Structure 1
Amino acid sequence: MYRSPVSTCSECLIYNIGNIYLSIYLSIYLSIYLSIYLSVMFDPALWKVGIGQEHLHIRGKKQRDVKISKIILHPSFALLDDVEPVGDMNSTALNNRFDIALDIEQSLTCGMAGWGIDKIGSYGPFLRAIQGNIISRENCSQVYNISFEENILCFGNGYPGPCKGDSGSPVTCEKNGQYYIIGIVSWGVEQCGLEGYPTILTRIGSYLDWIQQTMNGKEE
């Protein structure tokens, strides 16, 4: 793993933590490097949340930095359970309210914002955003020739779409003046912006019970 100033998981910015090399070729040392990697990635002291940030190098008037006191993983965290809430943040720093959508309507226009690379493969200083609709799982399954579970949503038609570095970015939908967080970017085709291939999201509504228990301090 190489050092990067930006992590787009839920649009967080990471502190400088130095260089850590994780080699998949030297299997004899893999477990050692993996333990170091995990201890760094899940140490809340090394992370902060930048709320209202739109530029990496220019601090906006509405920007707030929030410290993390605890990072909680889903018990079955994997590609199919691609969710990792960060809890115990100072709620006074949260200016805008977002609710979690229970029912997803395909007619809703939704938006996604992230710090990933652009079409020429460069990381820019600006937070980029796109709009798109929710695609039915049936249509999405036909495109990818995969049977998607209910904890998956499909967003947009691929162009424009997220790219490398946008995984973990939130997707929000507006209905009657209220914004709802409905999913987080999980994966897509390797070629960014390939029209006809929706972005795959983790459906937050599938984890509402666990999220509520976790925020209430009842996680297992």
Structure 2
Amino acid sequence: MELTHLMVIMALSIGIATGRLNSRQPSGYTPSRIVGGADVPAGEHIPYQVSLQYRTAEGQMHFCGGSIITPNRILTAAHCCQGLNVTRMSVVAGIRNLGERGARSRVVAYDIHPNYKELVTSDLAVLSIEPSLKLNNKSISSIEYANKGKNSFVGGGVPVTLTGWGLRLPVPFPFLDAFNYPSILQRMNYNTITNRECREMGMESVTNTEICARGPLRGACSGDSGGPLVMSTEDGLRQVGIVSYGLVVCGLYLSPDVYTRVSTFSDWIDEKCLDE
């Protein structure tokens, strides 16, 4: 999405609550990265993270993230799929750098949640892929997403981690392309806030089907959509959110990021994994 200088100045000064889906639509734009993140170190893996790619005339193009929930099911955002030609979609697992080959599987179908409404609710989809990924518990593995116990609802003040290949600066700067558009997977930590705080900060449509998080000069941006927000539990990492939307300018402290709350939809996700 191309932004004008006027939009940048207005958003920086008064934090206008203009919706921004965090995907990079496959229409020839330059890839974009997480704001305020750092490179995942060489030799380290985020094994549940995948790159969702689209075949264009120029080749395969990263445009969204996703997470492995079973060997042949990927969890992502609904707006990463809606209206796209499934025969041109694929996922790549086991990579840190978008230039790596990794394990590529084609997307054979996607299921968008029936209640999905853009910038409002239920922004999730499950992809069916072939061939199934070979999980090795090192570079490629699934992430736990279901927690149906009494502590499944994530409130405010919870440390969470976001990974993805999304914009590193709040807006594109052509003269900083070499820095702004790296191909290395980014990782960033910040905290959730309560939904009430999120609404008070301009995200008035947020409901309990979503989680909000924010941090100083950090956050999700174009290209991060569909990617996993995770938290640490006594049993290991658990995915609690899916990157959905935010304000026009990414990474402002007054601008929360909005994630689909995975626990709300765990039954629906389970259903879509039954025929694997």
- Measured after TM superposition, the shift of residue 201 of structure 1 is 0.6
Count of aligned positions: 195
Within the candidate set 119, 132, 143, 1:98 is matched to 143
Deviations 1:116-152 (A, max 9, x none): 2221624321111111112111111111161521101
Question: Is the 8 Å Cα contact of residues 99 and 180 (structure 1) preserved in structure 2?
Answer: yes
- Could you tell me how far apart the structure 2 residues matched to 1:11 and 1:5 are? 15
Question: Is the 8 Å Cα contact of residues 240 and 262 (structure 2) preserved in structure 1?
Answer: yes
2:144 aligned partner, one-letter code: D
Aligned: 1:13 with 2:63: no
- Could you tell me how far apart the structure 1 residues matched to 2:188 and 2:110 are? 28
- Could you tell me how far apart the structure 2 residues matched to 1:145 and 1:49 are? 31
- The residue that corresponds to 1:54 in the other structure is 96
1:185 aligned partner, one-letter code: V
Cα separation, partners in 2 of 1:195 and 1:6, compared to 1, 3 Å: closer
Cα separation, partners in 2 of 1:18 and 1:98, compared to 1, 3 Å: same
Cα separation, partners in 2 of 1:162 and 1:128, compared to 1, 3 Å: same
SS at match of 1:207: helix
Within the candidate set 195, 204, 220, 1:146 is matched to 204
Alignment of 1:60-209 (within 5 A): 63-79=102-118, 80-89=121-130, 90-93=132-135, 95-102=140-147, 103=152, 104-119=154-169, 121=172, 122-144=180-202, 146=204, 148-157=206-215, 159-176=217-234, 178-209=236-267
Question: Is the 8 Å Cα contact of residues 214 and 256 (structure 2) preserved in structure 1?
Answer: yes
Question: Is the 8 Å Cα contact of residues 5 and 14 (structure 1) preserved in structure 2?
Answer: no
- Could you tell me how far apart the structure 1 residues matched to 2:163 and 2:258 are? 15
- Measured after TM superposition, the shift of residue 210 of structure 1 is 1.2
Question: Is the 8 Å Cα contact of residues 131 and 156 (structure 1) preserved in structure 2?
Answer: no
Cα separation, partners in 2 of 1:196 and 1:101, compared to 1, 3 Å: farther
- Measured after TM superposition, the shift of residue 4 of structure 1 is 5.4
- The Cα RMSD (Å) is 3.0
- Measured after TM superposition, the shift of residue 176 of structure 1 is 2.3
Cα separation, partners in 2 of 1:145 and 1:213, compared to 1, 3 Å: closer
2:167 aligned partner, one-letter code: I
Q: Which has the higher contact order (CA 8 A, sep 6+)?
A: 2
- Could you tell me how far apart the structure 1 residues matched to 2:50 and 2:245 are? 14
- Could you tell me how far apart the structure 2 residues matched to 1:12 and 1:182 are? 19
- Measured after TM superposition, the shift of residue 15 of structure 1 is 2.4
Runs of 4+ residues over 3 Å off in structure 1: 3-11, 105-108
- The residue that corresponds to 1:27 in the other structure is none
Structure 1 alignment gaps of length 5 or more = 20-36
Structure 2 alignment gaps of length 5 or more = 1-25, 34-48, 60-81, 173-179
SS at match of 2:112: coil
1:149 aligned partner, one-letter code: T
Cα separation, partners in 2 of 1:147 and 1:162, compared to 1, 3 Å: closer
- Measured after TM superposition, the shift of residue 16 of structure 1 is 2.6
| Bigger share in strand | 2
1:118 aligned partner, one-letter code: R
Aligned: 1:3 with 2:61: no
| Bigger share in helix | 1
- Measured after TM superposition, the shift of residue 170 of structure 1 is 1.3
- Could you tell me how far apart the structure 2 residues matched to 1:72 and 1:42 are? 13
TM-score, normalization: structure 1? 0.75
